[in-house]
Amino acid sequence: MSIKQQHLWACSGHTLFLAGAVTTGASALTNVNDATPVGTTRITAKMRNTVLSGSDVNGSWNDPVKYWMPFNGGDGFHNAPWQHFPLGSPLYKTQGSHGCVHMSLKDVAALYGWAPIGTLVTVQA
């Protein structure tokens, strides 16, 4: 996955399973660190129909999602029905996630069905 390109590619070896636009963490905010962390980790869990909760100096959130796949502590893949700008947009820098990777419902459902717990996740700047 590329933060710069705001794009995800899911592959098995050299075979592409899924490619799509994403929204990553709001990296340009100055009062919180919401940038999506770079590096290689693994999907650690998979959940359906859950609520993602948290808070920071800007407030609290309780966001229902249909698919949730954490890969770095509280950061993970999920749909984001509250996001009202296009996936892949440069608006992620100030209006992006709290570090997670927002995906379309169609793409995150496909990824959820394809990727088992333990799947490698590589996030590049």
Share of the chain above pLDDT 90, in %: 97
Residue 58 has pLDDT above 90, yes or no: no
Q: What is the mean pLDDT of residues 64-87?
A: 97
- Whole-number Å distance between alpha carbons of 63 and 118: 25
> SS in 3 state form for the chain?
CECCCCEEEEEECCEEEEEEECECECCCCCCCCCCCCCEEEECCCCEEEEEEEEEECCEEEEEEEEEEEEEECCEEEEECCCCCCCCCCCCHHHHCECCCEEECHHHHHHHHHHCCCCCEEEEEC
**Per-residue pLDDT band at 37 (split at 50, 70, 90):** very high
Residue 63 has pLDDT above 90, yes or no: yes
Average pLDDT taken over every residue of the chain: 97
Q: pLDDT digit string (tens) for 81-106? A: 999 999 999 999 999 999 999 999 99
